[in-house]
Structure 1
Amino acid sequence: MADLPVEIASTPTTDEHELRASALEHRELSTDLELPPADGGRQAHLTLLACSILQVPVWGFSMSYGVFPEYYTNPKSSLQLSSSGSSTGAIGTTFNGIVYLSMPVLFGLLARRFTRFRLHTFLTGTFLAIASIVASAFANNVSTLMATQGVLQASGATMLYTASTIYIDEWFIQRKGFAYGITLATKSAVGVAAPLAFSAMLTHIGYRATLFTWAGIMAVTVLPAPFLLRRRIPLSTSSPTGERHYRRTSWSFLRHATFPIFMLANMIFSASYGIPQTYLASFAASTLHFNPSNSALTLVAANVPSIFASLWIGPLSDGEKSRIIGGRRMSIGAVSTLSALGAAIPIFLLWGMTPSTPYAAGVVLLVLFAMIWGFFAGGYSSTWGGVIKQISKEADEHNEVADTGLLFGLMNGARGIGYIAGGLLGVELMDVGSIGQSALAYSGPFGGLILFSGCGAAVGGLSVLIQARRR
């Protein structure tokens, strides 16, 4: 992550195709700068390795938070809160809201004007994230838990994530989808393993020891990053008078239809995506009479397929040929629509058609739904690399530049807005209850949630309109 000196070559050595593929990097920087090759090579892979490992300290706690409220409310727990444990559920929502809504700001700042402060941001975020976990071990009320686990932990995780992930944007240009797919697959793997690990630790070593252990795991997984991450794009050069020149952020991409369509689709899809994640275990418990352990396994069944989905959909969004789909290349609009519809259809045909009584057929349908929905919905974020390339290409066609780091931050921001909106709507939709009269899940208390989740997922394929507009 050190700011290494960059030598000025006497003749241009950067490939012309790469220049056009990354207008931001090479149009504003002198083409006389000799840059390391992108999309491959030792340093690009080391960067991808570091960012993949960092998914553990960034997302491990937040993706496991569902096991903590149950522990807080357990009378046998060693933690005695002075307030009702039920109110701790807002801590997870606060964490996700801070992380996703802060990303557009941090990505924009670290990609352009304050690039020299990436290492400072990384180290500050690491300290905040670890210190907040340790401090929360001594909490004895909900307010302290909110401040440590909800606010400080989220702030540190955001700084840690943005200061590291921004390097993927520099080292991967043509293969952004592949790179983001790898990191998202790792994140999904963390989402499978971490809740099981936290549950086991809480049971065997207790609350405080669990948090101390997790703080140690965070420190170990963060440690290699400063040695693995290196800058590919040099810092802006100084003027003859010694004044610093900063690359200004261009917002020209806002004028084109591609950006708002993808952003709207992403936002609505994210609102629907949080519904099964939040309510699937409750549905299994209340409707099919699953015990708490089996209810949690429905989420595992949804998270495991998303690992493989990211590894497939990510490269597919880069334009690589798919052996599964006739060995053809697909446009990014088609790829995102495939993911969206693949998530929507099982919601309507499997979750919605699950019998509202605890029959064996209902169990089969629900598990099958979790696996298919988890595959396609979990792979949706892997299309972002292709989306960013499409927006950059459109900007290049208009002789403009698009800050790809900022774009990635904005995509995360849209997801955060969608999550929050979906969470608020979910509460209201639970009051709506059944849709129609039948023996299916539509007619149960989750009917409104199921209908909204399916429709929202389908709208996530709105980007296909871009291709129709072009044709």
Structure 2
Amino acid sequence: MELEELQQTDVERPRQPPTSNRKQTFLILLGCSILQLPTWGLPMTFGIFQDVYDNRLTLSGSKSATGVIGTTLNGVMYLSMPFLSTFLDSGRWARRRRQVAIAGVGICAAFGGAMIFSPTTLFIDEWFRDGNRATAYSVTLSSKNIVGTACPFLTYSLLDRLGFRNAIRIWAGIVFFTGILGIMIIPTKSTSIQHTRPRNIPWSFMKHKTFAIYAIGNIVFSSGYGLPQTYLSQYASNVLHLSGILSTVILAMFNAPGIISCFMMGWLCDKSYVSATTNTQISTLGSALCVFLLWGLNSHEIPALLILFSIGFGFFSGPYSSAWGGWIKDMEREAADNNEAINTGMVYGLLNGARGIGYVVGGLSGVELLKVGAVESSRQWAYGTKYGAVIVFTGLCSVLGGWSILWQGHGSKAARRL
């Protein structure tokens, strides 16, 4: 009996979702949505900077290597999130989330973005633990896509009128203002953590195939997902010879459809109208078809096809992250069936880490794929341009990113321990 009592003191007491009224719920969603701007404004519009590096600035060395900057920017952010989420989800650091987010605003770079985003996801995880969590995640993801739709025009205007250095200075000011505003809006008592001492972190979910299947599929899909964001504006400029503003419009169209589709997928997961695996399959197969049939065919000659690709790929690939809410529900059920604890906020951070690995792999691969260039047997198609290998790689990653469906289709077998 004494041993049992000692074990209980080493574990955080069960956390109850914070009690909230509609105003508080609105404020936390509003604050977390505003924080998507300082977090993702630059990473989601890096294609505009990529075009500037390629066509306006005088740089020594291979300009193709600049493509690594955008994917590495995303990669560093995502790879930081598992560590930040783990530290901020338990123990005394859980009470430091707001301070960490404020420090992230001050850093105003890749790791700083992760310091803003990780507390945001943990606030949402705790606030909506009793229901509608996937929908809440999707509201912030839709806001992220609003940022990705509006910021290309803002970035292009700043670069065109003020030049590179002044544009960066203005952007730093925007990040500071919106970051502090978003943090101030979030209710101060948004967590209800009670503990006697820092609790043991439950890692038992990693014994099951479900997490491994979703994580590996996430890495593969993300390896290709970041490449259109990086090279689409450059492709429009160099291959179709479109103006800078039209290239910006195409990049904005890449993000705009996700405003709707992200919310739809999260809502469907919460209502259990469609399973998480089905949502994932729709996202990955739809993305792959857009790559192979729209970007890969005559997009090098017909601008309308490139526009359709941008809209279609954005619609299907954007909500891939919205399916994570459904994935986490699957892992929660699995943990309950095995009488195990699970930190859902930390799991969400680990899924972001898996995406970060994919971004880094994709960024490094993109540079080498540009060197490979055209697919020789497809000169009459866009595959025959210097972006041919990039297009093929993106499409294959989209297909293989849904491979988890093949395993999850076996039902409960996927939940068995390795």
Range class of TM-score, shorter chain: 0.7 to 0.9
CA distance in 1, matches of 2:88, 2:25: 19
Hey, what does 2:45 align to over in structure 1? 64
Greater RCO structure (CA 8 Å; 6+ sep)? 2
Query: Secondary structure at 1:288's aligned position in 2?
Result: coil
Query: Which structure 1 segments of 5+ residues have no match?
Result: 1-26, 130-152, 239-244, 321-328
Q: TM-score, normalised by structure 2?
A: 0.86
Equivalent position to 2:118, from 162, 171, 181: 162
**Amino acid in structure 2 at the alignment position of 1:229:** P
| Contact 1:351-1:365 within 8 A present in 2 as well | yes
The structure with the larger Rg is 1
Q: CA deviation at 1:170?
A: 0.2
Hey, what does 1:235 align to over in structure 2? 193
Hey, what does 2:323 align to over in structure 1? 383
| Contact 1:176-1:386 within 8 A present in 2 as well | no
Equivalent position to 2:351, from 403, 407, 411: 411
CA distance in 2, matches of 1:396, 1:187: 32
**Amino acid in structure 2 at the alignment position of 1:158:** A
1:247-303 Cα shifts (integer Å, max 9, x gaps): 211010011111011111111110111222223333333433323332332222211
Rate the CA distance shift 1:426–1:203 in 2: closer, same or farther, 3 A.
closer
Hey, what does 1:218 align to over in structure 2? 175
Hey, what does 1:439 align to over in structure 2? 380
Q: TM-score, normalised by structure 1?
A: 0.77
Hey, what does 1:333 align to over in structure 2? 277
| Contact 1:35-1:232 within 8 A present in 2 as well | no
Rate the CA distance shift 1:196–1:223 in 2: closer, same or farther, 3 A.
same
Hey, what does 2:295 align to over in structure 1? 351
Greater CA drift, 432-441 or 187-196: 432-441
- Are 1:103 and 2:84 an aligned pair? no
Q: For 1:148-297, list aligned pairs within 5 A.
A: 153-173=109-129, 174-224=131-181, 225-238=183-196, 245-297=197-249
Rate the CA distance shift 1:67–1:248 in 2: closer, same or farther, 3 A.
same
Hey, what does 1:452 align to over in structure 2? 393
1:297-354 Cα shifts (integer Å, max 9, x gaps): 222221111111112111112235xxxxxxxx11111111111111111212222222
Rate the CA distance shift 1:365–1:54 in 2: closer, same or farther, 3 A.
same
Q: CA deviation at 1:101?
A: 0.8
CA distance in 2, matches of 1:91, 1:206: 19
| Contact 1:254-1:260 within 8 A present in 2 as well | yes
Hey, what does 2:104 align to over in structure 1? 125
**Amino acid in structure 2 at the alignment position of 1:459:** L
CA distance in 1, matches of 2:384, 2:72: 32
CA RMSD of aligned residues (A): 2.7
1:183-227 Cα shifts (integer Å, max 9, x gaps): 111111111211211221233344454344333322332233235
| Contact 1:301-1:374 within 8 A present in 2 as well | yes
Hey, what does 1:299 align to over in structure 2? 251
| Contact 1:268-1:459 within 8 A present in 2 as well | yes
CA distance in 2, matches of 1:443, 1:70: 21
Hey, what does 2:26 align to over in structure 1? 45
| Contact 2:80-2:353 within 8 A present in 1 as well | yes
1:363-407 Cα shifts (integer Å, max 9, x gaps): 222221211111001111111111111111111111001111111
